[in-house]
Chains A and B, each alone.
Chain A
């Protein structure tokens, strides 16, 4: 009860009050201070043989930057660089972007180009968020600046086969034998190797009959499909790019082969618009497991609609979706770092704990190697000329249809 002996408000109390009042008044200003402008370099195969997915990624980056500006208030300038679909150009593109003052990089779709770009990023200590690239080497070579959103091939295959097992053990008359048609390039071979190991590990109740590798520049897959048919398999597992996925289905139709299940772990085709443009009703029923947007996500519908209104003739697919998410990862790090300095963004990226905005994934967190530990795949099935999520159950739009309707009855 000091007030009884002296004044209620003395000089010290007044000073404390003033400081407290000032701090309280300033706090919202400090909290709401706009994040600093940041320059993001995006490395994609915008031309050349991989231009199709590369252009899709560019669309995802551009829309992602607009979204991040609105959501986080990040003044983000995006500078695009093209690898021309040549892995060795990854480093050249990264060097060029770094010289142009980019604070952080995103890229580069192809594993070879990504590793090449990471070498430049590592030398300049510029963090790089890898939106797509599945080779194990991306995060196993000791790079300190890598933050990979995409899961490695082995993880994708394992998760995919777990989903496939759940399907074949829940249906009547499951397939008895499977044949694997796969690309003979790095992606195809590494996926096939992972497939072999995961198949045994998960003890899938379908016998693996044969592996049929084919060249990525193959102009004709009639013999390969004839061999697959002759193997007696009633399930086709494929690891493809879009063009060969189309060729394989066409050959199945021409050779009157009707597998009960067509499933592509870590492959293209079902998620791509070109697949439906080429095959129409014959595309229906084919399945694949890929990273995909969460159709039940809070912002997914808004973002998909916005993408559609911006790019009327395109789809928001896995490529644009992963690129979009990578931009949000960068924006989140910039906001938390409150800095556009690369080393501070890198430190913030290491501490990332982000609920994904668009893609289906667990919380995005990077382990010591820079790998996102929450990465997860969805199972898609073609239905009425669109891919739909049929697994995992929590986000499924439909129950998977099995077996495939024979092609001649469509």
Chain B
């Protein structure tokens, strides 16, 4: 029984970190540009397809595919912000929502045309591998995704804290108008931030490709999952994304163990409702000023 509990705990932690990495891009974009990217799930699925193609067609390791997917999505995100999103930054939220839902549908439609509706399963050996730590078995694909999530967060935090452009981004996030007044290149900052957010989504998608079959219809699920994660953790906070992911992962794992597995989603949404009532800004969300 102790082994079962240990395995469930390990599974919940690793799955939670995977959820965290999926949510990271969403929180970065919101934290700086203050827009909610409803196309986030479609970008994660784009990364999933990159991971699938890299493994199935060229035998490229998942981690290398994640770098490629990140680079591709950065260019895509940068271009999208420059050409489309920047016109909507100051417009009402409901118009932004419609824009991003539209972008999501276009991306999903393109994926459907390119790959068809069939699920594309990963052929990576990681899909079957675990590491045994005593009686506990750690899923290698999740372990890799979790490690990369930690590295990505540290790298992003370092970039924002120590680089000049990182300081520009933080300044723009704090006060857009002030930034404009002192001559910060706000359009470039926003485009770069959107690119980084999209790159995180794409990289996460490729990293989780050994865990999820690529399918266009997953976009909505991923968007919803990322939302629950960042709302629990706190919109705009990197640490919040990871803690939110961990909370959801552990809630799902223990709900399956202690109650009924089919209650997993119900309990994670129940948790979301409690957080919204008790602490609306999430665990690490900034107070509204």
Contact residues of A with B, CB < 8 Å? 47-49, 51-52, 54-55, 184, 212-215, 217-224, 226-227, 230, 242-243, 246, 250, 253-256, 274, 277-280, 282
Report B29 CB to chain A, min CB distance, Å: 23
With a CB–CB cut-off of 8 A, which chain A residues contact B257? 223, 226-227
B18 to chain A, nearest CB (A): 9
- Chain B: CB-nearest residue to A85: B217
Is B121 touching A274 in the complex (CB atoms < 8 A)? yes
With CB as the reference atom, state the residue of chain B lying closest to A282. Answer: B128
**Interface stretch of the complex, out of B41-49, B64-72, B258-266, B273-281:** B258-266
Residues of B at under 8 Å CB distance from A? 1, 3-4, 7-8, 11-12, 15, 112, 116-119, 121-123, 127-130, 137, 139, 211-213, 217, 221, 225, 252-253, 256-257, 260-262, 264-265
Is A255's CB under 8 angstroms from B128's CB? no
A250 touching B127, Cβ below 8 Å: yes
A250 contact set on B, CB distance < 8 A: 127-128
The residues of A that contact B128 with a CB separation of less than 8 Å are: 250, 253-254, 282
- Chain B residues with Cβ under 8 A from A51's Cβ? 116-118
Point out the residues of chain B lying under 8 angstroms from A214, CB to CB: 256, 261-262, 264
Whether A226 and B261, one on each chain, are in contact in the complex, defined by CB atoms closer than 8 angstroms, is no
Task: Report the Cα distance A242→B120, complex, angstroms.
Answer: 12
Given A213-B261, A230-B1, CB of A255 within 8 Å of CB of B117 = no
Which residues of chain A are near B260, meaning CB under 8 Å?
213
A222/B139 contact (C-beta < 8 A), A230-B4, A254-B130 known: yes
Alpha-carbon separation in the docked complex, A87 to B7 (Å): 38
User: Is the Cβ of B217 less than 8 Å from the Cβ of A52?
Assistant: no
What is the CB-to-nearest-CB distance from A287 to chain B, in angstroms, rounded to a whole number?
Answer: 20
Bound: A214/B11 CA distance, A? 16
Contact indicator B213/A243 (Cβ below 8 Å): yes
> What total of A-B pairs shows CB separation below 8 Å?
100
Interface pair A223/B119, CB less than 8 Å apart: no
Report the Cα distance A224→B11, complex, angstroms: 11
- Given the interface contacts A49-B217, A255-B130, does A274 sit within 8 Å of B262 by beta carbon? no
The docked-state distance in angstroms from the alpha carbon of A213 to that of B256 is 10
* A254 touching B139, Cβ below 8 Å: yes
Beta-carbon contact of A223 and B261 below 8 Å? yes
Complex CA distance for A220 and B252, rounded to whole angstroms: 10
Compute how far the CA of A242 lies from the CA of B1 in the bound complex, rounded to whole angstroms: 30
**Chain B, interface SS category:** helix
**What CA separation (Å) do A220 and B248 show in the bound complex?**
13
Give the distance in Å from the alpha carbon of A215 to the alpha carbon of B266 in the complex. 10
A-B contact pairs, 6 of them (CB 8 A): A51-B116, A55-B118, A213-B260, A220-B15, A223-B252, A278-B121
Complex: A220 Cα to B256 Cα, angstroms: 11
Which residues in A have their C-beta under 8 angstroms from that of B117? 47-48, 51-52, 54-55
Let me know if A217 and B265 touch, CB within 8 A: yes
Q: Are B261 and A227 in contact (CB under 8 A)?
A: yes
CB-CB < 8 A to B225: which residues of A? 219
Contact A223 B118 (CB under 8 A): no
Q: Which residue of A lies closest to B210 (CB)?
A: A250
Nearest B residue to A254, CB-CB: B130
Given contacts A48-B217, A222-B139, 20 further A-B pairs with CB under 8 A are: A52-B118, A55-B117, A217-B221, A219-B225, A220-B211, A222-B7, A223-B12, A223-B256, A224-B256, A227-B4, A227-B257, A242-B119, A246-B121, A250-B127, A250-B128, A254-B128, A274-B119, A278-B122, A278-B123, A280-B123
Of A212, A213, A224, A254, most B-chain CB atoms within 10 Å: A254
A215 engages B119 (CB within 8 Å): no
Q: What's the Cα separation between A54 and B118 when bound, in Å?
A: 10
Contacts of B213 in A (CB 8 A): 243, 246, 274, 278
Residue in B15, B116, B221, B262 whose beta carbon sits within 8 Å of that of A222 in the complex: B15
How far does the Cβ of B21 sit from chain A's closest Cβ, in whole Å?
Answer: 14
- Nearest neighbor of A275 in chain B, beta-carbon distance: B121
5 tightest A-B contacts by CB? A51-B117, A278-B121, A184-B262, A223-B256, A222-B11
Question: CA separation between A220 and B19, bound complex, in Å?
Answer: 11
A223-B265 contact given A52-B119, A274-B121, CB 8 Å threshold: no
In the bound complex, CA of A250 to CA of B124 (Å): 12
Q: How far is the CA of A282 from the CA of B129 in the complex (A)?
A: 13
User: How far apart are A366's CB and chain B's nearest CB, in angstroms?
Assistant: 32
Contact of B11 among A213, A218, A220, A246 (CB under 8 A): A220
Q: Which residue of A is nearest B129, CB measured? A: A254
A109 CB to nearest B CB, Å: 13
Write the chain B residue with the least CB distance to A407: B128
A256 touches B137 (CB 8 A): yes
Query: Min CB distance, A7 to chain B, in Å?
Result: 80
- Taking CB atoms, residues of chain A closer than 8 Å to B264 are 214-215, 218
In angstroms, how far is the closest chain A Cβ from the Cβ of B217? 5
Contact between chains at B221 and A226 (CB < 8 Å):
no
Q: Which chain A residue lies CB-closest to B262?
A: A184
The answer on a CB contact under 8 Å between A223 and B130 is no
A356 to chain B, nearest CB (A): 28
Q: In the complex, what residues of B have CB within 8 A of residue A226's CB?
A: 4, 7-8, 11, 257
Query: In the complex the two chains form, what is the Cα distance from A138 to B12 in whole Å?
Result: 41
Beyond A222-B139, A254-B129, A254-B139, is A227–B262 a contact (Cβ under 8 Å)? no
Q: Are B212 and A219 in contact (CB under 8 A)?
A: yes
In angstroms, Cα B4 to Cα A254, docked, is 14
- Across the interface, B265 reaches (CB within 8 A) one of A215, A221, A243, A254, namely A215
A219 to B208, CA, bound (A): 11
Contact A215 B261 (CB under 8 A): yes
- A378-B24 Cα distance, complex, nearest whole Å: 48
Chain A residues near B252 (CB, 8 Å)?
220, 223
Asked whether A215 lies within 8 Å of B262 as measured between CB atoms, the reply is yes
- A274–B11 touching, CB < 8 Å: no
**Bound-complex Cα distance A217 to B212 (A):** 12
| Contacts known (A215-B262, A218-B261); A277 close to B4, Cβ less than 8 A | no
